[in-house]
Amino acid sequence: MVNSTLLVTLYINPMTGNDTNTGSRLSPFKSLTRALKVTKIPPLIYLESGTYSAASGEVFPLVIPGGTTVVGNEANKGAGIVISGSGEYKSASFGIQNITLLLLDNSSLLGITVTNPSTKGTGIWIESAAPALANNTLRDCGREGVFTTGNAKPAILDNIFVQNTASGLVMAGHSQGEVLRNVFQRNPLGIAISDFATPTIANNKLSENRTAIALSRNAQPVLRQNLITHNTQGGLFVNGNAIPDLGNTQEPANNIFHDNSEFDLYNATTQKLISVGNQLNHTLIKGLFELLPVNEVAVNTSLFEAATESPPQNLPAPVQLDEHWAEPFIQALVSMDLTHRFADGSYQPDKPMTRAQYASLVAIAFNPFPKISAPDFTDVPKDFWAYSAIQIAASGGFVGGFSDRTFRPNRHVQRLQVIVSLVNGLGLPPADSDVLEVYSDRHTVPDYARKAVATATQQKIIVNYPDPKLLAPSRLATRAEVAAMVYQALVAIGRTSAIKSVYVGLHSRT
């Protein structure tokens, strides 16, 4: 996952290294502390197996500067590569804390086991920064594995949080960011979200904790497609003025609550909360909840009409977007008669896009020549609003189905899926993967997609908002992002002229 063609690469071995060495592969340092001091250029640091502690020369807390990447073994979630220790850090939000690691902006920690044995100790502290944590194990910390606060916006992906004394992950302050595909197991609290935090919590597994997720104060997380099972007390506990997003008729949440002991949902507030599309045991729901069924009419109401239909004739023009960042792209597509609005004239640019909506857009925008015979998807009947569009997009190589012959039209698309789809569907020539160096989270691009992402980067198809350097491949794609990337793909094949935007074409400025 890591591109090693960086300017400074350092190696550390706590068993055989020496801090008077050069830090090369054959002459490694002994401590991470030493490696973090030798260069002002953000390095790529490889850790060999062993324990990195005060006994091996580490001075805690370890501060990982912006742009620095620390790599252990991602394949086994950091097994055998352990950073263990604690030191005082003065937080702007919470005062003196005992922490192991402080991650600063755009730093990355990959494939490491982190533990803080101190009472009330935190493994990783993130304060008003946007680092990436992927394929690590956070275990046996005296308080929590990871704590985020301030305006933190981390990407917390594919980690294991296990047996921490208080909780696996705490998100406080105005934290945002993404918590995707992690495992939270045997913590008193799997995830605690407080203050004004609004993260996206999706595709995680939370099991054998006391309580899987606890919300307090004014927290407003988005919860999607999590498996919350076999927790000894309960699934989701909501307190204070917290309001979780548990789905709506346009976007069912699809969380699965299963075999929790005392409750699946517990609303301790005085306000009614809405749940749409979650799998629950209705006897394990406490407090004020309204459980709404998935509204098939609402779900199937497309941002885009089917490819064979004509656009609405009585809607106001142009679309009202209130100076949205993607307004130029969306208005351009509307003017080209390539995209349509909802019946109320709105575009809802920040909502995620479904697979059916995406197929409809690419069918209209590119009208691809059939390359293969379109499959007969078992869950797309001929009277489905996007049937024709899905057939066109599938035969043109833009979209495909699943091994069980389903298309899953109401599932949302990820940014990476859109990028790969556009490159493959248009048959663009591959580019060198070196261009991925422009992205601070390039390590999150799967190996199979690196060529496609590099190609899309070189062709200026990729649009990154709000941070041009943050690719966020696993995040759900908004309608605005998809519209912008489809427009840029039209530019790449010479169908229209470029729109100047600071969120496009980062590689040309580096």
How far, in whole angstroms, is CA 108 from its chain's centroid?
A: 14
The token duo for 203 is 């595709």
The kind and range of the H/E element at 453 are helix 450-458
From CA 68, how far away is CA 413, in angstroms rounded?
A: 30
Q: Provide long-range contacts, Cβ within 8 A and 24+ apart, for 276-285.
A: 276/246, 276/247, 276/248, 276/249, 276/251, 276/252, 277/247, 277/252, 277/253, 278/246, 278/247, 278/252, 278/253, 278/254, 279/254, 279/255, 281/257, 284/234, 284/235, 284/257, 284/260
From CA 484, how far away is CA 478, in angstroms rounded?
A: 10
Domains recognised in the chain with CATH numbers:
60-65+72-295 (2.160.20), 300-509 (no CATH)
The amino acid that residue 253 corresponds to is A
The pLDDT value recorded for residue 337 is 76
The pLDDT value recorded for residue 346 is 62
From CA 387, how far away is CA 392, in angstroms rounded?
A: 9
The pLDDT value recorded for residue 510 is 37
The pLDDT value recorded for residue 153 is 94
Q: What's the pTM?
A: 0.61
The pLDDT value recorded for residue 102 is 98
One digit per residue, pLDDT tens: the chain, 510 residues? 444 344 689 999 999 999 999 999 999 999 999 999 998 888 999 999 999 999 999 999 999 999 999 999 999 999 999 999 999 999 998 999 999 999 999 899 999 999 999 999 999 999 999 999 999 999 999 999 999 999 999 999 999 999 999 999 999 999 999 999 999 999 999 999 999 999 999 999 999 999 999 999 999 999 999 999 999 999 999 999 999 999 987 788 989 999 999 999 999 999 999 999 899 998 999 999 988 866 432 333 333 333 323 333 333 344 455 678 888 898 888 888 786 555 445 678 888 899 999 999 999 888 887 878 778 899 999 888 889 889 999 988 999 888 778 899 999 999 999 999 999 999 888 888 889 999 998 898 888 889 999 999 999 999 999 888 999 998 899 999 999 999 999 999 988 888 888 888 764 433
- Beta-strand pair 167-171/144-149: parallel
The pLDDT value recorded for residue 368 is 86
